[in-house]
Amino acid sequence: MKTRPLYFLTLIVLALGGCAQYATVKEIEPRRAGFAVTKGAPLDGLAAAVSAAETAWRKLDRNPADAEALADYNFAVARIFGAIREQKLKPWDAPIKLGEHSLSWRVVPGSKWNPRVSELIPTDQLEISGTYVDERETKSGLGAPLVAMRVADQAHEYAPTPHFYYGVTGIARFEGSRCVLAVENPLAKETVRVSGRTFPLAADYTAPLAMMLVEMHPKELELPRLLHPAKFAATTRIARLEPFDPDKIVLLFVHGLMDSPATWFPLINHLRADEDVRRNYQFWFFSYSSGYPYPYSAATLRRELDAAEKRYPSKKKMVVIGHSMGGCISRVLITDSKRKVWDQMFTVPPERMDITPAHKHILTESTIFAHRPEIGRVIFISAPHRGSDLASNWFGRIATSLVSMPAELLTLGREEARYEKHAAGDLHLKRFPDSIDTLAPNNDFVRALNTVPIKSGIPHHTIAGDRGKGDAPKSSDGVVPYWSTHLPGALSEKIVPSGHPAHQHPQTVEEVHRILKLHTASR
């Protein structure tokens, strides 16, 4: 009986998202005029690259403004790292003799890169395209941008994918006949000193994101995690996109309904291109099955934050950015509900509810919560705080009929029904709600939450789309109307000429930049 509605929903998903790839990465053979491909013994090409890097460096030493020499140096250094990767050489274990030169490795003080467990890939060997990497954000300077790829322990390292993909920059220094390699972190430093001179440190901020996005397979997470949330429970996690730094502010991104962390990559790509953001912020995200009701997902996020705080204690309060339903989850994180939501929803207090302890725990943690003290600011983007009519009309009712909730929550729904005051608002569900139900304006949780104010003292901002019509406050982004996104207590409100994916609009990128700089200045 669900075949036709599912087919209908799938057609809509395809119409909205198309078949375009979020990101594709293809290895190519880079070329540069004046650099010939050296054939012969395996080390001949490496020796030629080292000689070319030294020749270019001597020119730079005489004239640091020589742009051609800088480009030659960077290209040659990239070929050195490319040869090391291709031939599986290990200069970090022992120097490699190359005719007139020897190749060795120097560990940068404080470096978190271990070459023994990382594969270093020159980014000029990567051809990148896709809808979520529309612009390649790079920084000109000295060095060969690389992607450091290593196997990750996802359970303990908070990795977003089975591999970590970090952007690093390779440097070659010449000390007599020795060519000494090192790897610098362009997210931690902006310049590099070589032979007494200071240069901007070159970087490629897009390449590691694109490689991560390809491995993430986000389209396999989006619709499936809405329809079958329990099957994807193992994909729920907080993940970090770079080495943890306790002195940097965590930016935590929370995606919305039928979405994945991939939706944030265009914004992250542009934010990383800003020096102030790189210096002050680090990027995390919360990935979850969006079929669950968002109060349930918010409770899951609180547990994830508890665990993350123990493993990665930060010195500074984080900034949370939530899009769509992710904004609703974020709103719960900065609210003290006490018993106000519970009392509006149920006829008896928790201690008088005769249901299993496990089910009572689910209900209480979803409705009785306190604000998170580690959160210092929140940015809401296209967030349906008061719901969306799409969730309660015919389309929403078709969509919600396709969501398969786990047996435990179905049983809980039957148990709690005896104590509901309003039978889940005007929806008359008589079952445990799913995510689409909790986005309906007439849902009992939505109504109850909107009687509880956001915790005072936590600055928050709203960004909403009006599809370019300029008709606010009667506007809508096509999914969420202005009356639902608007928060009277917000420190600022920005309307952008966008549909519902307002978090990917250039004006939103500018507004987030502005808010983040305001946040760093206020610390």
Burial class (CB in 10 A: 0-12, 13-18, 19+), 263: buried
pLDDT at 434: 86
Closest-CA residue to 467 (of 439, 487, 495, 486): 495
Quick one: the chain helix, strand, coil %, rounded to 5? 40, 20, 40
Q: How many CB atoms within 10 Å of residue 377? A: 22
The CA distances from residue 284 to 133, 251, 318, 375, 509, in Å, are 18, 6, 10, 13, 17
The CA distances from residue 495 to 403, 464, 491, in Å, are 32, 5, 14
Which helix (H) or strand (E) segment holds residue 336: the answer is none
pLDDT at 432: 81
Which helix (H) or strand (E) segment holds residue 493: the answer is strand 492-496
Burial class (CB in 10 A: 0-12, 13-18, 19+), 405: buried
The CA distances from residue 491 to 275, 512, 521, in Å, are 25, 13, 15
Using a cut of 0.85, tell me whether the model's pTM lies above it.
yes
Torsion angle defined by CA atoms of residues 4, 8, 11 and 16, in that order, rounded to the nearest 10 degrees: -160
Query: What is the rounded distance in angstroms from the CA atom of residue 458 to the CA atom of residue 134?
Result: 34
pLDDT at 19: 53
pLDDT at 37: 65
The DSSP output letter for 437 is G
pLDDT at 100: 87
pLDDT at 125: 97
The structure tokens 């307002």 sit at 502
Query: What is the rounded distance in angstroms from the CA atom of residue 443 to the CA atom of residue 453?
Result: 18
DSSP string for residues in 70-107: HHHHHHHHHHHHHHHHHHT--TTTS-EEETTEEEEE-P
The helix-helix angle for 325-333 and 294-311 (nearest 10°) equals 60
Question: Which residues neighbour 363 within 8 Å (Cβ) at sequence distance 6 or greater?
Answer: 350, 353, 355, 412, 416
Closest-CA residue to 478 (of 449, 463, 499, 496): 499
Tokens of 197: 């001179």
pLDDT in tens, the chain (523 residues): 344 444 444 434 444 444 579 999 999 999 888 777 666 677 888 999 999 999 999 999 999 999 999 999 999 999 999 999 999 999 999 999 998 899 999 988 877 778 889 999 999 999 999 999 989 999 999 999 999 999 999 888 999 999 999 999 999 999 999 999 999 999 999 999 988 899 999 999 999 999 999 999 999 999 999 999 999 999 999 999 999 999 999 999 999 999 999 999 999 999 999 999 999 999 999 999 999 999 999 999 999 999 999 999 999 999 999 999 999 999 999 999 999 999 999 999 999 999 999 999 999 999 999 999 999 999 999 999 999 988 777 676 677 778 888 888 888 988 888 898 875 455 556 678 889 988 999 999 999 999 999 999 999 999 999 999 999 999 999 999 999 999 999 999 999 999 999 999 999 999 999 999 999 998 7
User: What Rg value do the Cα atoms of the chain yield, rounded?
Assistant: 26
